[in-house]
Every structure is written in structure tokens, then in C-alpha cells.
Structure 1
């Protein structure tokens, strides 16, 4: 079934056609009809499956229809989308704006880290849909700039991540501020008892939709692990970049301090890179994301702030410079590549001390990650031919190793 066959607004169909949306993904095909019927939905689908459009399309259609029925140009808050991070709020607001570009609906991304005055001015003019992080939203509720009594649709996106970040109470507090009669859409990448308890406490007889293949890692992603010692990882990252100069590479590290150290290591060998982590100001984070998305800079070094839900187009490589502490974050990280119909590659650098983490990851995804075998001479060559110090020492060691190997081979021939 194609989108043009759906009973949705011609304005939305026009925007979908312009955006290149031909046919719905599995989650869109299963969720859109139930949402249009006004049913509560509990949807579980892995990253990169088109979850945002699965709720944005029907919500925009329903709100536009109500707006036209009222024959009023006044904007009234009808839909609240709660998300765990600023980046996700920006991204989802962008999707709503793209799909709703030919409607008269007003959409606002609401998040902290930026001055609130512009957001307040927009709220005063009127909005139909808010995509918000809890912190800034509650600030403006307490300042009486937001009234949730008119909301008819609540969306909880990346609900599992919201629970991980401790937003359980915030979610329940929001429910108490909503009118009794409203529709709840609950979207999550994973499902466990904690998620189930929250979901069934919030939704009424929900339609449960699960699009979850046995392999949690997208079939479009080829993934491998290279056993590299912690202090040597920068040399292997340098080699990967120099052997793939035109590729867009997303590098994950464990902490913001590590991100800045890896950035300095890349700068020393002449590789342009940028960093993204929670220590940056929001304006800087937005600028960094724009640079990477547009391909102005080909390497982005980030913490797990970009592992969940963020859609960055055309990422060729995901590099797990540090393995994630939580096995599920491995899936979220590698899900930043191989999105839609595109192919992607994920490479993990695993040091000796990280091997237990690798075992937990393999257990979580239900299979072994393919090992990239690195011979001793290849390992040494990678270090020796780095533009970084101490390459002279490594070149000397490599030459000595070659001489020793040649002598051993000569003896064997005799």
C-alpha cells in the first residue's frame, strides 16, 4: 500500500511525496491506522524503522482536520510529544515541520540550554504541537506559559531512554495535568517489565505493535571488532580515516574528557574532527550537528548523547572507540549507520580490559561480533606509520622485527 492510497490530508500527501516517502515502513503500516482511529498505542520498534513519521503523519492529519472543522486560525495546544534529549526534540520537531509544511499547524521544539524568551513568545502567539524535554517544559508550566488542559494527544517517544534518565515521575506528573479524555501513544525501542509497568499505567487497552527482528542489529549494518590496546586506539582510528578519506565517520567514546582527548589526537595528525557531548552549550551542539550532517566535517566524536534516536544522514562508519558500558547502547550506536535502505559499517576497538564488556554485548545481541584479525606486523605498522609521536621508536622496532623474522626464515630454509 502506498501513502497516496491512505485517507489522509492532501497537504500531507503532497509533503510526503516531496520528501520521497512512497510506501510506509512496517511500524508506519501497523501504527498509522490505529492512531487515526483514536486508539492508544504501545509500539516497540528498533531504531531506524521510521517511528517518528509513524505518529507524526496521523497526528498532523487529525489536528489539521480539527482545525479546518473549527474554521479558526487560532492555534491551540492539542498535542504534546515528550522526549528525553534536546537533540531528539530538535529532530522530531523538524520531522513534524517537514511533513506538516503545507498545513497551517504551528509546531514548537521546546528544550533547555537556550534562552527561553523566544520560546515564550512563540507560546504566546499560539502553538498546536509541542515537542519537549521535561526540564524546560515544567519550567514554563510553572511560569504559566503552558496549559496542558487542551491537549488531546500525548506521545512518549524513546520511553525506555526516558526511564533510564529518571523521567518516570515527570511522565506521571504530566498525565495528571492532562484532561481525562486523551489519546496516549507510547513508543520505545525496547520492552521489559519496567517499560510494561509504566505503559499499562498510562494507556487504556492499548493496541500493542511490535516490530522487532530476532537480530537487534540492523541487517544493513556489517559489524566487526578489532582487538586494540587502549593506548593504541588513536593510531587505528587515524589509519581508518586516512584509508577512507571521503567517508562520514561517527566515533563513540565513553566520556566527554575522552572525546576531547581523541579530538586532540586527530588534530595532531591533521585530521579535521568535531566533538559533541553534554559539556557543550546548546548553540555549539546545534552548530556541530549541522556541520556533520552537511558533511562540512567528516568525523564527529561523541558520547552516548547521540546514540539514541538521532537521525544523521549518510553515516558510513560507526566506530566504537570505547565499548559502551550498557550492551543495549551498542545496538543504539551502530543503529546510526545503515539507516533506511543504506548500508553501513560498524567497527569496535576492544582493549584487553574491555573483553568482558564485549562478551555481554555478544550475549545481548545473540551472536558473536566478527573479529577483524590483525597480524602482529600489521599492528606494528599501524603504530609505526602514524603521523603522531612516538613513530620514530616504532619504526626502529619494526625494522628490528623484520630483520629478526628474516633471520628465522633463513635458518628454517637451511
Structure 2
């Protein structure tokens, strides 16, 4: 079924067409009718399948076609997300889809001055896309009324609950009108998180897409065994071998992110890092440069890049394997989004074998191994300007050893 066949308001149909939305994805096709009918929804689908549009499209239709039942001027829909970057991204999706509809959306997050956000709230907004901290701050200060909320959406819900936001979610739910619709969206969910989710929704319609294969079929993912200290050479090899490709590199810590950027700089590769220690203005600029392709290599931690949708990321490199197995799915899902094809390569050092085993157990299948012969391994290192040795020095060393051996033989003959 094409979007043009849906009974949507004219501005929404126009925006969908201009944005290239022709037919709904599986998750969109299954969730849109349930949301339009007022059902609570618990939706689980692979990354890159269009989950944001799956709730944004019907929510815009609902807000435009029914009147608020409360006289409050506060927002009618709140979308909770775990990170600043995701708040900006989701607000952008709503903004594009609601153009000319008369609706207003804003991103609400910390790390920036709150006064412009307060000013915007006073002018009136229909949809707020917020991180928990800033939403609770402005609500407690009296700048944000939750009395008119008709729809609560938890995006990357499992991640928010894992980060310890569950009690915040409970507090939020207590302050919201009892008569509301709750939508719970995630790429992965385990039994514990599912139980928590059912505590926040009422008689939810459960929609699950490809639950047995969490990694999209559009992604070729593989692993190569690399010593921890040699990973920089193999990343350099990938980047230099694909100079026009956008490459997203995942590391385990903020310190590692900066070290990888510095290692790339030593071999004349421009890379930038995004992590929690950078202020919001810097993070926004770094993401913008990666999004436009001005910078081709982005080094990120899990928290900073969770849920981020950057167009045309051809490669994801797991420089460090994630500590949590399901984060592997979220990482590799940054490529191969929609109908695009993507490649994900993981580096596994001997110390990370346990993590790889956990990931394969989570996926319920092994990850293809890129076999490296000793010669291939050494060649990758030797061609790097940062290598401690090169082929010339190796050849020179071999010649010197041969000459030394010849001299010893001559002495023995004498």
C-alpha cells in the first residue's frame, strides 16, 4: 500500500511525497493503524527500519484531526529519548513531516542555555522531544506543563531503562493525564526490560519485526582477529582503502575515542570524536560535519551514537567490541539503513574473545571471520607511516644477517 492511499491530511501527504516516502516499511505498515486507533503500542524492530516515522506520521495525523480535551496550552505529545543528539534528530523528523500543518515541535535537552527553550515553550509547542533531565528541570520550575499530554512516546526505550531512567519514567507517568496513549519503541528488548515496559503501557499491542534476526539483511558484518595495539593500523588501512566512504568507528570509552583520533592524525587521516565530555555545541557541529561528509571519519562511544541516523554511512568499525552484546546490534545498525547496503567490521583482540562469544550467543549464530595470513597481517602494519619498521629496514636487516652468516662461515673454514 502506498502512502498516497492513506486518508492523511493534505500537508502530511505532500510532505511524505517530497521526502521520498512512497510505501511504508514493515514496522510503519503495522504500527500506523494501531496508533491511529488510539492503542498503546510496544514495537520492536531492527535499526534502520523507519521506527521514528512509524510513530511520527500517525501522531501528526492525530494531533491535526482531533481537538485537545484540555484547555492547557502545553504540549500534547512528549517523546522521551536518551541523548541530546537523538532529541535533535527526532525533532527534525517531526519538523519535516509537519511542515505547513500548523503544528510546532521542539527539542528539549541539557548542555545548552535553557532560556531559549523556555521562550519557545511560552510561545506554544505541540510536540516536545526531550531528554529526561531537562524535561524534569523545566517541569519542576513551572516552565513546562504536562496537563495536556495526550501521547507519550518512549524511543530507544530499552536504552533509557538500562541507563537508570526507569524511576524517572515512573515519575513522569504519575504526572501525566491518566487518559493518554503510550508508545514504546526499541530495536532490542529482553525479558527484564519487557516487564518494565508493560508496567508503563496498558493492554499494549505488541508488534515485533524480524525478532530472530536482529541485524538487518542489508548489512554484511564480519570480524577480524587483531592485537589490541595493532587495531590502529587496520583502521588506517580501511580508511585509506575507502577515502570517499563515511566511516563510523565505535570505541568503548571517551579516552579511547580521543586516542584513536590522535592515532589517525599521525598518519594524516582527519577524524573527529563525539562523546559525553564534549559540550553540546561541539557535538552538534561534529555530527553536522559527518552528516554532510565534510568529515568522513567519526569516532564515537555507544551513548553518543545510540539511535543516530546519519545518511549513507557505508562502514561501521567496531574498534572495540561492546561490553553489552545487544549494543552490537545498535552499532552495526548505523549502516545499511532503509534500502541501503552497509558493511560492518569488528576488531577482536585476544582479551575480547569473551565479548565476541557473548555477541554470537545473542545473535544465535557465528559472525563471519576475515581470515588474515601472517603475511597479510604484517603487510597491513608495514605500510603504515606509524609502523616502527618498514620493508626497507626489514630487507636491510635480512641482508646484514646474511652477510654476517657468510662471514662466520668463512672464519670456520679458515
Q: 2:31 matched to which residue of 1?
A: 31
Q: 2:119 matched to which residue of 1?
A: 121
SS at match of 1:149: coil
Q: 1:62 matched to which residue of 2?
A: 62
Q: 1:352 matched to which residue of 2?
A: 350
Q: 2:411 matched to which residue of 1?
A: none
Change (3 A) 1:379 1:104: same
After superposition, residues 64-79 of structure 1 pair within 5 angstroms as 64-66=64-66, 76-79=74-77
Which residue, 319, 325, 328 being the options, matches 1:327? 325
Q: 1:178 matched to which residue of 2?
A: 176
| Aligned mates of 2:336, 2:304 — CA distance in 1 | 15
SS at match of 1:336: coil
Q: 2:245 matched to which residue of 1?
A: 247
Contact 1:385–1:391 (Cα < 8 Å) also in 2: no
Q: 2:210 matched to which residue of 1?
A: 212
| Aligned mates of 1:202, 1:298 — CA distance in 2 | 40
- Structure 1-normalised TM-score? 0.93
Contact 1:307–1:329 (Cα < 8 Å) also in 2: no
Contact 1:75–1:106 (Cα < 8 Å) also in 2: no
After superposition, residues 9-24 of structure 1 pair within 5 angstroms as 9-24=9-24
Q: 1:192 matched to which residue of 2?
A: 190
Contact 2:74–2:145 (Cα < 8 Å) also in 1: no
SS at match of 1:202: coil
- Structure 2-normalised TM-score? 0.93
Q: Across the two proteins, how many residue pairs are aligned to each other?
A: 401
Cα RMSD (Å) of the superposition? 2.0
* Cα offsets for 1:322-360 (capped at 9, x unmatched): 111111111110000000011110111111111111111
Change (3 A) 1:364 1:115: same
After superposition, residues 302-317 of structure 1 pair within 5 angstroms as 302-317=300-315
| Aligned mates of 1:361, 1:217 — CA distance in 2 | 12
| Aligned mates of 1:332, 1:264 — CA distance in 2 | 26
Q: 1:134 matched to which residue of 2?
A: 132
Change (3 A) 1:229 1:146: same
4+ residue segments displaced more than 6 Å? 401-404
Q: 2:285 matched to which residue of 1?
A: 287
Is 1:276 aligned to residue 274 of structure 2?
yes
Q: 1:169 matched to which residue of 2?
A: 167
Contact 1:384–1:395 (Cα < 8 Å) also in 2: no
Contact 2:219–2:335 (Cα < 8 Å) also in 1: yes
Q: 1:409 matched to which residue of 2?
A: none
SS at match of 1:382: helix
SS at match of 1:319: strand
Is 1:396 aligned to residue 393 of structure 2?
yes
Contact 1:3–1:24 (Cα < 8 Å) also in 2: yes
Change (3 A) 1:255 1:398: farther
SS at match of 1:102: coil
Shift of 1:235: 0.9
Q: 1:88 matched to which residue of 2?
A: 86
Change (3 A) 1:249 1:25: same
Q: 1:383 matched to which residue of 2?
A: 381
Which residue, 232, 235, 238 being the options, matches 2:236? 238
Q: 2:336 matched to which residue of 1?
A: 338
Change (3 A) 1:150 1:390: same
